[in-house]
């Protein structure tokens, strides 16, 4: 199980993909990335990852970065394990 206190940030985004020389679109879809570590460093890495995708020509939309900073009720990210999950 993932320890929610170790999660630094979560990145979600939609990619319109990248058209190759044959006209085929690759990389289309919705994606999520979990970053483990210190929240500020994880946010930086998420932004750098998005920048690298865009620099490679991917059309990225619907970006959400949730930084796992402490709140009055605990961390901003919660881990929920459903019964029967391994």
Beta strand pairing call for 7-15 and 70-71:
unpaired
Residue 40: pLDDT over 70: yes
Average pLDDT over residues 42-63: 96
Confidence of residue 86 (pLDDT cuts 50, 70, 90): low
Nearest to 38, CA basis, from 66, 63, 67: 67
Name the percent of the chain lying above pLDDT 70.
97
Residue 11: pLDDT over 90: yes
Question: What's the pLDDT at 74?
Answer: 82
Cα Rg, the chain, nearest whole Å: 16
Residue 85: pLDDT over 70: no
Indicate the pTM of the whole model.
0.85
């Amino acid at each position: 199980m993932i320890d929610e206190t170790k999660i630094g940030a979560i990145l979600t985004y939609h990619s319109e993909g990248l058209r190759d020389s044959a006209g085929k679109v690759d990389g289309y879809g919705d994606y999520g990335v979990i970053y483990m570590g210190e929240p500020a460093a994880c946010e930086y890495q998420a932004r750098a990852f998005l920048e690298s995708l865009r620099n490679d020509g991917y059309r990225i939309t619907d970006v959400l970065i949730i930084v796992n900073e402490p709140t009055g009720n605990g961390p901003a990210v919660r881990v929920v394990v459903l019964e029967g999950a391994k």
